[in-house]
Amino acid sequence: MTEIQSVQIITLTIDGKPVGASGGETILDVAKQNQVFIPTLCHLEGLIPYGACRLCLVEIKGNNKLVPACITKVAEGMEVITNNERLQRFRRWILELLFTERNHVCSVCVANGFCELQSLAEVLGMDHVRLPYLHPKFVVDATHDRFVSDNNRCILCGRCVRVCSDIEGAHTLDIMGRGIKARIVSDLDDDWGNSPTCTRCSKCVQVCPTGAIKEKGRRSVGEKFKHRDVIAHLAEMREAAREED
Amino acid sequence: MVTLDHLSDIRRKVSEAEEQRNHRIHVCVAAGCIAAGSRKLLRAFQEEITSRGLNDSCLVKGVGCIGPCAGSPAVAIEPEGIVYCSVKPEDVPEIMDSLAKQPVARLQMSRDLPFFTRQKKIVLENSGRIDPEQIDDYIAAKGYHALYKVISTMSPAEVISEVIKSGLRGRGGAGYPTGLKWTTVAKTGQQQKYVVCNADEGDPGAFMDRSVLESDPHRVLEGMAIAGYAVGANKGYIYIRAEYPLAYERLRKAIKQAEEYTFLGQSIMGTTYGFHVELRLGAGAYVCGEETALIASIEGGRGTPRPRPPYPAERGLFGKSTLINNVETYANISSIIRNGGDWFASIGTQNSKGTKVFALAGNVKNVGLIEVPMGETLREIIYEIGGGMEGQNKLKAVQTGGPTGGCIPESELDTPVDYESLASLGSIMGSGGMVVIDDSVSIVDIARYFMEFSVSESCGKCVPCRVGTTQMHELHAKINRGEGTKRDLELLEELCEVVKHTSLCGLGQSAPNPVLSTLRFFRSEYEAQLTDHEVLAAEGVAK
Amino acid sequence: MKKIKLATVWLDGCSGCHMSFLDTDERILGLLEHVEIVYSPLVDIKTFPENVDITLIEGSVSTNEDVVKIKKVRAHTKTLVALGDCAVTGNVPAMRNPFGVEATIDRAYFHLVQHNPLTPSEYLPRLLDKVVPVHDVVKVDFHVPGCPPPADTIYYALTELVRGRMPDIKLMTRFGK
């Protein structure tokens, strides 16, 4: 027997425009449906929200704290502001911080032209950084026969970790270390090539927003094509399979 | 069934044993005094008593923190109420000779000093009085009476209403009303709920929670068991940092004893209420004191925070409704139940009730652990209880709230110590660190020290905290080296604003506080280090 | 009407940005009606003149000579434009930073040299410890990222600057490609 679920209907405003939503949707979901652009980096449809990049922070009237649009659920009467001078300034700062952190030399990166970090800098008008480059040095792990992990290009969005554990179910990749020394490792910080858990599914390559995880054989610059929508489909299929059980 | 008679029996037995003795010698066996050799001292007293054949008239026991930590190891002689500081084993015969006569003046710290008289002890009422490893000692000090009262005569709603009435606010730093938190957890209609005690005290220089756990562990267990009864939880976790081996060991023993007495376990005091407590050890990450990171760590995951809401009350440990409070918060509960919420609410200020334990440190005479009513001014705490400045230098600032707190200048010393007043000065109550700084110290250096802490303890999850704190530190260091320009100072201030407003958890959001508060009150010290010489990062490094 | 004095300077870069500038092709001729090129690797003037209106800088600051040069340029220029990723971010030249000068020289003049490996003579400019973008050394008025920035973007930015306006080049160029 199919249960008829009552859907909660919510009205709210986004940047002054009244919009409708159903309960359980996030501000980001509703903004997208209404063609309101909110920048994101760690968010990816199909993955469990993470709330780490802080680019999607928005203001809510009556709340003195900024909230991440990718996680915050809509509520009746909510007045959301997605874009103003202050938010733009904060977002440019966050991008600037990311660009100063590691080696993000776009011109010689496999992801050049396909990189979300690079695109966001363009869209948000972040045209130079004012702070010194930190450039911690990480060892590139090229021991895997198909993939390379280069933490020097990593922005620690955690997409690869989440897709590996939540969608593929392998949990080969995870984050190790603290602060700016944090990095992606495979298994217990072993060579990726020796990993007994990696299924070689390449989902991590698909979800990586930058050139940190790449497929071997693409030797030159700007060759890292992605099919990210595949992740949302996989997530849906898993959901469907679970419901059938 | 445990009845009040059982508890009274134990009380009588303990007090009889004590009254039989003319003198009771209390030797502090909290970590600080142990490090200063108090175990040897305890043995020396025992041997001396035995060799003098005074076992029937003298009792010696290890107790929790007596307070004057600068004078470790500390000894108290009861019932006379004499306190001796920095006692060595070779002083033992002299002290034994002095019993019932004039105290040994050269070792004595007068009990009439404001350090003792101005304090008000609730959380620390048993510290320095009972043997933390003897449950009977705790019971003799009315321990587990509150739990008995709650289980036998009160409904969960009544317990919560008493806590609400008390006005108690979270002692971990943020000051969230405890009663409100309990209500929220009690009202979630979930079957399985958890009570968690945050004992991951990580602020440098803070040892309030450690001292409570080492001196009076049962007090915290009792508070948790009462909380479990009030909110409907049957399981509790204490998340304690591994750097506190003694506190861990005493808690472990305390849990075992409490289970034997049925104060914890399947059927508490023979009733249908069951509550188990387990210990979890932290692995040294400061961020694990943040509640969502702490929960992730107990679950066995990487200790990083996650955005709230959902709050732990709604979805916490293992996805279940979870009540999470700090050690000191739980340590207040039994007193509130025994004496009533109104009694507690009569202490302190309008919005901050009760007392607060502080670890007083820095350039002050009486370094140590103190407990004062909320609303005492900083001046009273430093100059009366603290005994004033150590050395010839003048007071410059007081740092409160640990690495994410702020520096309060001498001009604001008449500020009462409560949550709101400290926040209005750009600092925080925090967990209770209080460092007195004299004018020989560069305030910019102080800010740098705390910032370095935030940099190395950032978990690395969110961008503003991970990269922002590092860049703040770089800019700050540049200014401190005399290479910074006006532009760098502006950048630093703007970056502080970004980190404060965009970081994921409380650690990141308050990480700029040391810089912001020192800039607010000591801006001239920063400006004096600026150079007009524009930029030239490259010039400095040209070979 | 008095012509706008334009200079272009080549620091540590691959000359790609200058090439991209030349890729504006015949539009340059139109530009020259309003602009006089007073200093550039493309023309034969050896010293940087005074009172320059607009200077385009290609390349990062990598040597002590670059520092001297860029300070002189700044002192005599009204509007200084960092052109391309090397000038804006340090880009490829700055990739030696994590390794240090010694390792870089070792690599370039010994490891990769088959005949007559030799340290560069003392008469050559000395490398800075760290390669830095232009705005780390002098004030930059306008940044044009890109490796290289597209000819259209350079042309648009230049014509706007010549007219005395601050160009808005958002969505016209990006770091890298």
pLDDT in tens, B485-507: 999 999 999 999 999 999 999 99
Q: Which residues of C touch A98 (CB under 8 A)?
A: none
The CATH number covering residue C62 comes to: 3.40.50.700
Same domain, A189 and A152: yes
Q: What percent of chain C has pLDDT over 90?
A: 83
Q: Retrieve residue B147's tokens.
A: 């739990």
Query: Phi/psi at B448 (nearest 5 deg)?
Result: -65, -40
Q: Are A186 and A161 in contact (CB under 8 A)?
A: no
Q: Which residue of chain B comes nearest to A48, CA vs CA?
A: B306
Does the pLDDT of residue C17 top 90, yes or no? Answer: yes
pLDDT value for A245: 67
pLDDT value for A224: 66
Same domain, A47 and A106: no
Name the least confident of A118-127, A220-229, B301-310, B461-470. A220-229
Q: Do B469 and A179 touch (CB under 8 A)?
A: yes
Name the least confident of A60-64, B202-206, B317-321. B202-206
The shortest C-alpha distance from B480 to chain A (Å) reads: 16
| Tally of structural domains, chain A | 2
Does the pLDDT of residue A75 top 90, yes or no? Answer: yes
Q: Do A52 and B491 touch (CB under 8 A)?
A: no
Region B371-381 average pLDDT:
96
Measured distance CA(C138)–CA(A2) in Å, rounded: 70
Is position A118 within any domain?
yes
DSSP string for B368-418? EEEEEETT-BHHIIIIIIS-SBSSSPPEEEEEESGGGSEEEEGGGTT-B-S
The shortest C-alpha distance from A174 to chain C (Å) reads: 25
Q: Which residue of chain A comes nearest to C85, CA vs CA?
A: A107
Which among B265, B263, B278, B273 is positioned nearest to B222, based on CA atoms? B263
Nearest to C90 among A109, A112, A133 (CB): A133
Does the pLDDT of residue B541 top 70, yes or no? Answer: no
pLDDT value for C116: 85
Q: Are B436 and B402 in contact (CB under 8 A)?
A: no
Region B477-482 average pLDDT:
92
A27, HSE (Cβ side, Cα atoms, 13 Å): 29
pLDDT value for A229: 79
pLDDT value for A217: 79
Going by the DSSP 8-state scheme, the letter that residue A62 receives in this structure is T
The shortest C-alpha distance from A84 to chain C (Å) reads: 17
Q: Which residue of chain C comes nearest to A109, CA vs CA?
A: C176
Nearest to C174 among A103, A118, A222 (CB): A118
The shortest C-alpha distance from B208 to chain A (Å) reads: 26
Question: Taking the CB of residue C165, how many other CB atoms lie within 10 A of it?
Answer: 9
Q: Does C18 touch chain A (CB under 8 A)?
A: no
Query: What SS3 class is residue C148?
Result: coil
- ipTM over 0.95? The verdict is no
Which among C171, B462, B306 is positioned nearest to A55, based on CA atoms? B462
Name the least confident of B68-77, C117-126, C141-150, C161-170. C117-126
Measured distance CA(B374)–CA(B372) in Å, rounded: 6
- Contacts A–B by Cβ distance under 8 A: 97
What type of residue is B421? S
Average pLDDT, chain A: 92
Is position A122 within any domain?
yes
Going by the DSSP 8-state scheme, the letter that residue C107 receives in this structure is I
Is position A2 within any domain?
no
Q: Which residues of A touch C141 (CB under 8 A)?
A: none
Q: Which residues of B touch A116 (CB under 8 A)?
A: none
Same domain, A175 and A224: yes
Q: Does A88 touch chain C (CB under 8 A)?
A: no
Question: Taking the CB of residue B139, how many other CB atoms lie within 10 A of it?
Answer: 23
The model's confidence at residue C122, banded by pLDDT at 50, 70 and 90, is: confident
Q: Do B543 and C128 touch (CB under 8 A)?
A: yes
Q: Which residues of A touch C103 (CB under 8 A)?
A: none
Measured distance CA(B152)–CA(B149) in Å, rounded: 5
pLDDT value for B20: 87
Q: Do A178 and B501 touch (CB under 8 A)?
A: no
Is position A245 within any domain?
no
Residue to test with chain A: of B458, B459, B471, B541, most A Cβ within 10 A: B471
Region B161-184 average pLDDT:
95
Q: Retrieve residue B516's tokens.
A: 């912001």
Round the CA-based radius of gyration of chain A to a whole number and report it.
19
Same domain, A219 and A104: yes
Does the pLDDT of residue B438 top 50, yes or no? Answer: yes
Region B350-378 average pLDDT:
94
The model's confidence at residue B63, banded by pLDDT at 50, 70 and 90, is: very high
Does the pLDDT of residue C14 top 80, yes or no? Answer: yes
Taking the mean position of all CA atoms in its chain, how far away is CA C10?
5
Is position A1 within any domain?
no
Q: Do B535 and C136 touch (CB under 8 A)?
A: yes
Q: What percent of chain B has pLDDT over 90?
A: 86
The shortest C-alpha distance from A153 to chain B (Å) reads: 14
**Cα dist. C166→A164, C81, C141, C159, C170 in Å?**
47, 11, 9, 10, 12
Residue with more model confidence, A7 or A179 = A179
Same domain, A70 and A129: no
Does the pLDDT of residue B525 top 60, yes or no? Answer: yes
Query: Phi/psi at B78 (nearest 5 deg)?
Result: -110, 155
Q: Are B330 and B346 in contact (CB under 8 A)?
A: no
Question: Taking the CB of residue C110, how many other CB atoms lie within 10 A of it?
Answer: 11
Q: Are C93 and C87 in contact (CB under 8 A)?
A: no
pLDDT value for A235: 83
pLDDT in tens, A79-92: 999 999 999 999 99
Placement of tokens 């009205």 in the chain: A11
Region B251-260 average pLDDT:
98
Which among B448, B532, B179 is positioned nearest to B323, based on CA atoms? B179
Same domain, A71 and A147: no
Residue with more model confidence, B2 or A73 = A73
Residue to test with chain C: of A122, A150, A210, most C Cβ within 10 A: A122
Q: Are B296 and B324 in contact (CB under 8 A)?
A: no
Boundary (domain end) residue, out of A56, A83, A110: A83
Q: Retrieve residue C66's tokens.
A: 């670059």
Measured distance CA(B77)–CA(B96) in Å, rounded: 10
pLDDT value for B306: 94
Same domain, A207 and A105: yes
Q: Which residues of B302-327 are buried (b: 16+ CB within 10 A; e: fewer)?
A: bbbbbbbeebbbbbbbeebbbbbbbb
Q: Can you state the angle between helices B443-457 and B463-480, rounded to 10 degrees?
A: 150
**Could you tell me the CATH superfamily of domain B142-345?**
NADH-ubiquinone oxidoreductase 51kDa subunit (3.40.50.11540)
Quick one: B414 exposed, middle or buried, by C-beta within 10 A (0-12, 13-18, 19+)? Answer: exposed
Q: Mind spelling out the 3-state secondary structure of C37-53?
A: EEECCCCCCCCCCCCEE
Q: Which residue of chain C comes nearest to B543, CA vs CA?
A: C128
Residue to test with chain B: of A55, A134, A159, A180, most B Cβ within 10 A: A180
Q: Which residues of C touch B534 (CB under 8 A)?
A: 138-139
Residue A59's beta-bridge partner residues? A81
Query: From its phi and psi, is residue B340 left (phi > 0), alpha (psi between -120 and 50) or beta?
Result: left
- Selected from 3.40.30.10, 3.90.1170.40, 3.30.300.30, 3.40.50.300, the CATH number assigned to the domain covering B16-115 reads 3.40.30.10
The model's confidence at residue A219, banded by pLDDT at 50, 70 and 90, is: low
* Domain spans of chain B, in order of start: 16-115, 142-345, 355-439, 444-527
CATH class of B444-527: mainly alpha
Going by the DSSP 8-state scheme, the letter that residue A181 receives in this structure is G
pLDDT value for B534: 57
Does the pLDDT of residue B90 top 50, yes or no? Answer: yes
Question: Taking the CB of residue B96, how many other CB atoms lie within 10 A of it?
Answer: 18
Q: Retrieve residue B411's tokens.
A: 């001009």
Is position C169 within any domain?
no
B149, HSE (Cβ side, Cα atoms, 13 Å): 18
Region B34-57 average pLDDT:
94
Q: Does C139 touch chain B (CB under 8 A)?
A: yes
Q: Which domain holds residue A129?
A: 88-237
Q: Are A203 and A216 in contact (CB under 8 A)?
A: no
Q: Are B336 and B168 in contact (CB under 8 A)?
A: yes
Which among B86, B393, B428, B136 is positioned nearest to B258, based on CA atoms? B136
pLDDT value for B537: 46
pLDDT value for A239: 80
Is position A47 within any domain?
yes
Q: Does C119 touch chain B (CB under 8 A)?
A: no
Measured distance CA(A138)–CA(A216) in Å, rounded: 19
Q: Does C61 touch chain B (CB under 8 A)?
A: yes
Residue to test with chain C: of A95, A104, A107, most C Cβ within 10 A: A107
Q: Which CATH architecture has domain B355-439?
A: Roll (3.10)
Query: What SS3 class is residue B276?
Result: strand
pLDDT value for A8: 87
Q: Does C101 touch chain B (CB under 8 A)?
A: yes
DSSP string for B43-107? HHHHHHHHHTT-TTTEEEEEES--S-GGGPSPEEEETTTEEE-S--GGGHHHHHHHTTS---TTT
Q: Does A105 touch chain C (CB under 8 A)?
A: yes
Query: What SS3 class is residue B71?
Result: helix
Quote the Cα angle for C4-C10-C14, to 5°. Answer: 135
Region B22-28 average pLDDT:
94
Same domain, A129 and A198: yes
Q: Are A44 and A231 in contact (CB under 8 A)?
A: yes
Q: Do B535 and C67 touch (CB under 8 A)?
A: no
Average pLDDT, chain C: 93
Q: Are A54 and B463 in contact (CB under 8 A)?
A: yes
Region A63-76 average pLDDT:
96
Region B310-314 average pLDDT:
94
Q: Which residues of A touch B456 (CB under 8 A)?
A: 178-179
Chains that touch B (3 or more CB pairs under 8 A): A, C
Query: Phi/psi at B315 (nearest 5 deg)?
Result: -140, 100
Q: Which helix (H) or strand (E) holds B319?
A: none
Does the pLDDT of residue B540 top 50, yes or no? Answer: no
Same domain, A59 and A96: no
Same domain, A137 and A20: no
Q: Which domain holds residue C42?
A: 4-93+129-162
Q: Which residues of B touch C128 (CB under 8 A)?
A: 538, 541-543
What type of residue is B288? C
| Tally of structural domains, chain C | 1
Which among B492, B491, B411, B412 is positioned nearest to B444, based on CA atoms? B492
Strands, sheet with B276-282, edge to edge from the N-terminal-most edge strand: B276-282, B235-241, B193-199, B321-326
Measured distance CA(B201)–CA(B199) in Å, rounded: 6
Q: Retrieve residue B81's tokens.
A: 């109420």
Q: Does A106 touch chain C (CB under 8 A)?
A: yes
Q: Do C129 and B537 touch (CB under 8 A)?
A: no
Residue with more model confidence, A1 or B109 = B109
Which among B298, B282, B212 is positioned nearest to B251, based on CA atoms? B212
Q: Are A214 and A224 in contact (CB under 8 A)?
A: yes
Is position C171 within any domain?
no
Quick one: A146 exposed, middle or buried, by C-beta within 10 A (0-12, 13-18, 19+)? Answer: middle
Q: Are B193 and B229 in contact (CB under 8 A)?
A: no
Same domain, A96 and A168: yes
Q: Retrieve residue B180's tokens.
A: 């409100």
Does the pLDDT of residue C81 top 50, yes or no? Answer: yes
The model's confidence at residue C120, banded by pLDDT at 50, 70 and 90, is: confident
The model's confidence at residue B538, banded by pLDDT at 50, 70 and 90, is: very low
The CATH number covering residue A40 comes to: 3.10.20.740
**Is the bond leading into B73 cis (omega within 30 degrees of zero)?**
yes
The model's confidence at residue B173, banded by pLDDT at 50, 70 and 90, is: confident
Instruction: Kindly give, in sequence order, each residue whose CB lies less than 8 Å from that of residue A77, ignoring residues fewer than 6 positions away.
Output: A11, A12
Query: What SS3 class is residue A184?
Result: strand
Is position C168 within any domain?
no
Count the residues in chain C.
Answer: 177
Measured distance CA(B450)–CA(B511) in Å, rounded: 9
Chains that touch A (3 or more CB pairs under 8 A): B, C
